[in-house]
């Protein structure tokens, strides 16, 4: 009798367990990793800082792997990230140093900044409205610029498989997608233009290029204060006397971020690498040639602006740089040495 009783109890327990399992609510694959088997084997990406460059900081929670960078490149060129058929590449053409030939309508007329050597930045956008890491920038681009539909993205099995394999989850969120995009942004490194080779003793500059170099990196031109050696940007905010009256909202710059009048008209120093490939200059693209830019600094700076950068008011510069026509041509000649043909033709960056 005792044995039969034990069997009956066992049968009842089994039935209860089966009922509990059958009644459990099905899990949503978009909110868990039930269909994901975890991170697969990946090849570590060996990062190195080019000669004379400062040390870049790679976030500990987004270590670099070859496969993650490839995923970031795939996303960079994918129009499915937007809702209007655009991709990141729409505004950032490799042939133009990952810039573009027109201002951004989305940004109310701001010029499209080049994507170059951003691994060494901590301030981003013309107005400095994003600080932190490239992951922060990519998150903002996905959520504010593209307003990416992540319900749609999570129906794309290819992406679910790739994120599972390289990040250990198939639930694709803005925070997660920002990571491979940031990795691709990080490897967009320009390090082999004529100026770089000159610094390394591998190539000589022409007479005019060397004269322009000396203007750029001395008090004669004062360019180097904001466009520092090697990186060619100090990544800081400056008012360069471009305007005395801020007619357009976008002309207010860093003030739009801080609300501090001392920041009115301040903008982040643009990186001058591959500058000769661009067709629009300054935050609003008002100048169309390098010659126009040099002429502005030579004689058209608004020195009466209350918060103008002190560099613009140095003794002897009350009437501008006072460069001769020859010196202006020499300065432009040096700026053209900043074009990196390896960078704009690198097959690793192409679609």
Q: Check residue 288 and give its pLDDT.
A: 97
pLDDT digits (tens, 9 = 90+) for 251-300: 999 999 999 999 999 999 999 999 999 999 999 999 999 999 999 999 99
What is the average per-residue pLDDT within 7-15?
41
Whether 202 and 166 map to the same domain: the answer is no
Structural domain that includes position 107: 60-189
> Rounded to an integer, what distance in angstroms lies between the CA atom of residue 35 and that of residue 115?
36
Q: Check residue 31 and give its pLDDT.
A: 45
Q: Let me know if 349 is exposed, middle or buried by CB neighbors in 10 A (0-12, 13-18, 19+).
A: middle
Query: Looking at the 3D structure of the chain, how many domains does it have?
Result: 2
- For the four alpha carbons of 287, 288, 293 and 298, in that order, the dihedral sign comes to negative
Q: Does residue 51 lie in a domain region?
A: no
343 CB-near residues (< 8 Å, 6+ apart): 97, 116, 188, 189, 190, 191, 192, 193, 273, 274, 349
Whether 206 and 283 map to the same domain: the answer is yes
Q: Is the pLDDT of residue 25 over 90?
A: no
Q: Check residue 17 and give its pLDDT.
A: 41
Q: Does residue 14 lie in a domain region?
A: no
Q: Is the pLDDT of residue 243 over 60?
A: yes
Whether 115 and 173 map to the same domain: the answer is yes
Mean pLDDT rounded to a whole number for the chain = 91
Q: Does residue 326 lie in a domain region?
A: yes
From the list 13, 14, 24, 337, the residue with the least C-alpha distance to 193 is: 337
284 CB-near residues (< 8 Å, 6+ apart): 103, 109, 110, 111, 248, 250, 251
From the list 164, 165, 167, the residue with the least C-alpha distance to 183 is: 167
Q: Is the pLDDT of residue 57 over 70?
A: yes
**Cβ of 169: how many Cβ atoms within 10 Å?**
16
Identify which has the larger pLDDT, 105 or 120.
120
pLDDT digits (tens, 9 = 90+) for 67-107: 999 999 999 999 999 999 999 999 999 999 999 988 888 88
Could you tell me the CATH number of the domain that includes residue 207? Answer: 1.10.760.10
What is the average per-residue pLDDT within 132-140?
98
From the list 124, 94, 112, 125, the residue with the least C-alpha distance to 279 is: 112
Whether 302 and 339 map to the same domain: the answer is yes
The percentage of residues in the chain with a pLDDT greater than 70, rounded to a whole number, is 90
Identify which has the larger pLDDT, 185 or 26.
185
pTM beyond 0.75, yes or no? yes
Whether 174 and 204 map to the same domain: the answer is no
Q: Let me know if 94 is exposed, middle or buried by CB neighbors in 10 A (0-12, 13-18, 19+).
A: middle
Q: Check residue 106 and give its pLDDT.
A: 83
Whether 249 and 122 map to the same domain: the answer is no
- For the four alpha carbons of 193, 197, 198 and 202, in that order, the dihedral sign comes to negative
Whether 231 and 111 map to the same domain: the answer is no
Where a domain ends, among 140, 168, 189?
Answer: 189
Whether 322 and 247 map to the same domain: the answer is yes
Q: Check residue 34 and give its pLDDT.
A: 52
Q: Is the pLDDT of residue 239 over 60?
A: yes
């Amino acid at each position: 009798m005792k044995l039969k009783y034990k069997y009956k109890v066992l049968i009842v327990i089994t039935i209860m367990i089966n009922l509990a399992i059958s009644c459990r609510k099905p899990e949503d694959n978009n909110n868990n990793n039930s269909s994901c088997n975890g991170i697969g084997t990946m090849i570590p990406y060996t990062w190195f800082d080019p000669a004379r460059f400062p040390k870049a900081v790679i976030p500990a929670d987004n270590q670099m792997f070859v496969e993650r960078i490839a995923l970031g490149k795939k996303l960079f060129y994918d129009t499915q990230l937007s809702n209007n058929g655009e991709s990141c590449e729409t505004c950032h053409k490799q042939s133009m140093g990952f810039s573009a030939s027109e201002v951004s309508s989305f940004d109310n007329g701001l010029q499209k900044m080049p994507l170059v050597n951003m691994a060494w930045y901590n301030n981003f956008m013309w107005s400095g409205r994003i600080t932190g890491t490239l992951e922060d920038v990519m998150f903002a681009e996905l959520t504010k610029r593209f307003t990416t539909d992540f319900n749609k993205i999570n129906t794309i099995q290819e992406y679910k498989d790739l994120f599972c394999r390289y990040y250990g989850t198939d639930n694709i969120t803005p925070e997660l997608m920002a990571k491979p995009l940031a990795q691709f942004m990080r490897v967009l490194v320009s390090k082999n233009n004529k100026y770089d080779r000159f610094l390394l003793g591998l190539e000589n500059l022409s007479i005019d290029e060397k004269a322009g170099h000396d203007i750029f990196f001395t008090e004669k031109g004062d360019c180097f204060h904001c466009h520092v050696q090697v990186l060619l940007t100090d990544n800081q905010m400056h008012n360069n006397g471009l305007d005395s009256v801020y007619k357009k909202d976008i002309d207010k710059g860093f003030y739009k971020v801080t609300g501090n009048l001392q920041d009115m008209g301040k903008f982040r120093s643009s990186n001058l690498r591959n500058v000769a490939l661009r067709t629009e200059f300054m935050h609003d693209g008002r100048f169309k040639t390098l010659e126009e830019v040099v002429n502005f600094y030579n004689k058209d700076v608004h020195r009466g602006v209350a918060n103008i950068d002190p560099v613009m008011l140095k003794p002897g510069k009350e009437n501008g740089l006072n460069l001769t026509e020859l010196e202006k041509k020499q300065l432009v000649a040096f700026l053209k040495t900043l074009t990196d043909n390896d960078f704009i033709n690198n097959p690793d960056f192409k679609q």
